[in-house]
Structure 1
Amino acid sequence: MKEELKRLREYLMTGVSYMIPIVVIGGVFIALSIALSGVQEGQGAVVTNPFLTKLMDIGSASFSLMVPVLAGFIAYAIADRPGLAPGLVGGVLSNNIKAGFLGGIIAGLLAGYIARWIKGWKVNKNLRPIMPIFVIPLLTSLAVGLLMLLVIGNPIASLMSSMTEGLKSMSSGNSVLLAIVMGAMIAFDMGGPVNKVAFMFGSAMIAEGIYTVMGPVAVAICIPPLAMGVATLLAPKKYTRAEKEAGKGALAMGLIGITEGAIPFAAGDPLKVIPSIVTGSAVGAAIAAIGKVGDHAPHGGPIVLPVVDNRVMFIIAVLVGIAVAAIMVNLLKKEVPEEELDDLEVED
């Protein structure tokens, strides 16, 4: 069992290592375009400059590749080249059904294990040459595609609907409890369906003139990437060199409110990272609710400070949330064996 878990981590980290440059490209270009444009009250990040718009387009295009690359190279690590194409297909479908990076991990694992199973079939020697380039990718893509669309897609849509209704029912009650729930949702899948429900609910409240719902959300949005960036600085021996580089990008993305900056860490070690950032974001959001922090823009992170009510409490909430998440994840993680520090990186 222990050996199988170790192999599973290696599969995930292979996907992560190829995904990190994609996240950095997307995050940095989007961050630059937003940082140089700023945010407007009630509208969020508004990018109008033609050059900055192009930067935003490049960054968005890169982000659209993030989940497919993660899924594709998880499958590649499991089944070698025959798994790559089905993994990429599964990753694109994960994007299409709004399943986020967690859906991408599922797609990559499905593609990898199905492709490896088909590779083990005993077939006529005349079929062997076309197995890796035709039969395995075709059958695996069909299986993964049907599973993603028929089995995974509908439950996600139902879950999003029920979560939205749940948040609506909570909005008339305890504001701190609502903030804790929304903060946890924001961090759980970092841009995925659960995150989007909380974000859209906070944005909808802005349209109704209620800014103290988006305030805690804006705090929670930036805590995961900032916390993981800080964690790599506090305990560098617990992260590979690739992760430490990703940490630098995560810090930049967190300042601009791009929660996806924490995805490489969550994808590589979900059982330790996700509970830590969920706890940190929930704590930060709760403090923001207690401090009556309001956000007049549908965006998050320190970049929204110009349109935030009670800025001091906003900053305190972010700092406490970062501290909680970074300390928790470093307590949970073990030091990376010296021989593995560079083993999980993409070759030059």
Structure 2
Amino acid sequence: MKDTLAAALMQIGGGSAFALMVPVLAGFIAFSIADRPGLTPGLIGGMLAVSGGSGFIGGIIAGFLAGYVAKAISTKLKLPQSMEALKPILIIPLVSSLIVGLAMIYLIGKPVAGILAWLTHWLQTMGTANAVLLGAILGAMMCTDMGGPVNKAAYAFGVGLLSTQTYAPMAAIMAAGMVPPLAMGIATLVARNKFDKGQREGGKAALVLGLCFISEGAIPFAARDPMRVLPCCIVGGAVTGAISMGGRRETDGAARRAVCSADPGGDYAGAGLPAGDCCRNAGGGPCLRPC
């Protein structure tokens, strides 16, 4: 498998691009707060989050910490006019990187890594009933506001667990996140007489967006009739998440990945895998299969 195109694409995407995800996320969180002086400490904090085991959650914390530390230094530190030019390109990145780095190593990294380890152990040892309940909760959250804060909180929870090789919650999250746009799109095809021409056209777009795991495709329908659309989507998402977790489905990609069986004795059961996409079974074997 090492010399195949799928393996090469996985090395590019999963091995390199995904390795940069947390540092780049932290860097640009800091950049959004403190502009260019925050980028370097954010990237360093994100790298320390990855190496220290605090993963996605640690990267978010590092990004905010780096941004606000760099911003505070920028506003509070007064230098002679002759040295002002050095402040944004040397002094602020250097000092804030030192502060953020020490904080990540001695204050933040280990507690967050410990919480993730506990959560991973709990998820891996939970019974089927608890797994189904968790899947239902995550699925309902994904469909509550379709791209809003509740949706993003559920998604962040799933992404945070990817660094601990816990893939089942992300599968439930992705499956449930597709429910609202797919449901609205199918509804416009099955019950065409209940929708006007504009809604039927919007349903076609919702179908495509749903297949791409973009929950926002259902927003026009929810905005038009929230009292009927939202409860149906939430119930559908909860059922989908529960089925996914109960069936031990897993996916190791943060977005737009195929979902496969977690059965360690089963064949590579993912359907419709794009070239280079990787799903894993519980036995740890990579499932690389080009279309």
Matching residue within 131, 151, 164 for 1:196: 164
Residue 115 of structure 1 is matched in structure 2 by 70
Q: Partners of 1:143 and 1:97 in 2: how far apart?
A: 16
Matching residue within 220, 234, 246 for 2:172: 220
Residue 35 of structure 2 is matched in structure 1 by 80
Contact 2:169/2:245 (8 A) holds in 1? no
Aligned-pair identity in percent equals: 35
1:230 deviation in Å?
5.9
Contact 1:79/1:115 (8 A) holds in 2? yes
Q: Partners of 2:234 and 2:156 in 1: how far apart?
A: 6
1:82 deviation in Å?
1.1
Q: 1:58 to 1:233 in 2, by over 3 A?
A: farther
Matching residue within 211, 231, 240 for 1:284: 240
Q: 1:107 to 1:164 in 2, by over 3 A?
A: closer
Residue 226 of structure 2 is matched in structure 1 by none
Matched positions, count: 210
Question: Which structure would you say has the larger Rg?
Answer: 2
Q: 1:150 to 1:190 in 2, by over 3 A?
A: same
- SS for the counterpart of 1:190 is helix
More helix by share: 1
Consecutive unaligned residues in structure 1, runs of 5 or more: 1-46, 200-215, 235-243, 255-260, 263-276, 310-348
Matching residue within 81, 87, 96 for 1:131: 87
Is residue 2:98 matched to residue 1:142? Answer: yes
Q: Partners of 1:53 and 1:107 in 2: how far apart?
A: 32
Contact 1:90/1:107 (8 A) holds in 2? yes
Report 1:257-272 matches (<5 A).
Answer: none
Contact 1:98/1:193 (8 A) holds in 2? no
1:279 deviation in Å?
9.2
Q: 1:294 to 1:143 in 2, by over 3 A?
A: closer
Q: Partners of 1:149 and 1:278 in 2: how far apart?
A: 40
Supply the AA of the counterpart residue of 2:106. L
Residue 90 of structure 1 is matched in structure 2 by 45
Q: CA RMSD in A?
A: 4.5
Residue 68 of structure 1 is matched in structure 2 by 23
Consecutive unaligned residues in structure 2, runs of 5 or more: 139-153, 187-204, 216-232, 266-291
Residue 42 of structure 1 is matched in structure 2 by none
TM-score normalised per structure 2 = 0.55
Q: 1:92 to 1:224 in 2, by over 3 A?
A: farther
1:79 deviation in Å?
1.6
Residue 340 of structure 1 is matched in structure 2 by none
Q: Partners of 1:218 and 1:83 in 2: how far apart?
A: 30
Residue 101 of structure 1 is matched in structure 2 by 56
Q: Deviations over 1:274-318 (max 9, x none)?
A: xxx99987643423567xx366x8869755279799xxxxxxxxx
Higher normalized contact order (CA 8 Å, seq sep 6+, divided by chain length): 1
Contact 2:36/2:88 (8 A) holds in 1? yes
Contact 1:188/1:278 (8 A) holds in 2? no
Is residue 2:27 matched to residue 1:59? Answer: no
Q: Partners of 2:262 and 2:109 in 1: how far apart?
A: 39
1:189 deviation in Å?
2.3
Supply the AA of the counterpart residue of 1:103. G
- SS for the counterpart of 2:80 is coil
Q: Partners of 1:187 and 1:81 in 2: how far apart?
A: 28
Q: 1:79 to 1:288 in 2, by over 3 A?
A: closer
Contact 1:156/1:193 (8 A) holds in 2? no
Matching residue within 304, 307, 310 for 2:260: 304
